[in-house]
Amino acid sequence: MIETLLVGAGLFASTNVDDIFLTMAFFSDARLDRRSVVLGKFAGIGALTLVSTAAAACTLAVPPEGVALLGVVPLALGIKALWDLRAGGGDEGGDGIERAAPSMMSQVLSVAGVTAANGGDNIGVYVPVFAKDLSAVPAYVAVFAVMTVAWCIGGYVLVSHRLVARTMRRVMRPLLPVVLIVLGLWILSGARGLVTPTAADVDPPAAAPAPGAPGTAP
């Protein structure tokens, strides 16, 4: 259970590094009600988690070794992020926030939509992890809920600390590709059975003794 909680926390943190800055942008927008930001964050992340769970459930008919091949997705994302970082393509062009509508429901939907769109790549990371052990999804959901609260609190506090925000961006951005690559390799490790024969494949089942053979009942 401890390992599952740690994996969930690492999974959320590694895929939502940029989201903390988006959350800060939401809280710094005077047009947005703070309750709308919190509810919208939960709705957006909840939608990503729901889609990932449904996609993971669809892989139940696939052998575990085949499911583990989905680790290629976070591995590829990590390699791409590392390439973009080295090429200087990691700069963000904007926060994607559009003018919020006056009603609270519209604000919630606006925040949720931007959050889900910003975290669309998260699905490619969540699905293979969820599919690896579908029974652990409730624990992941609980961790994601707690981490969402932490992200909202952190975003609100950091709005008034720009120097801290710039430092976090500079330190965390190089770590994201590494985390994704390690995560992908960890998931792919479950596919060893595709190339390494198991004991059942190597040792054929023993043949039943013939009637009347020594050691058999008459």
Question: For residues 59 and 85, what is the distance between their CA atoms, to the nearest angstrom?
Answer: 32
Chain segment 44-94, per-residue pLDDT in tens:
899 889 988 988 888 665 566 666 676 776 677 778 778 877 876 545 444
Chain segment 158-189, per-residue pLDDT in tens:
877 767 666 656 665 677 677 668 767 877 78
The model's pTM is 0.62
Chain segment 23-48, per-residue pLDDT in tens:
887 887 777 788 998 999 999 899 88
Long-range contacts, 2-8 (Cβ 8 Å, 24+): 4/133, 4/136, 4/139, 4/140, 5/139, 5/143, 7/129, 7/136, 7/140, 8/136, 8/139, 8/140, 8/142, 8/143, 8/144
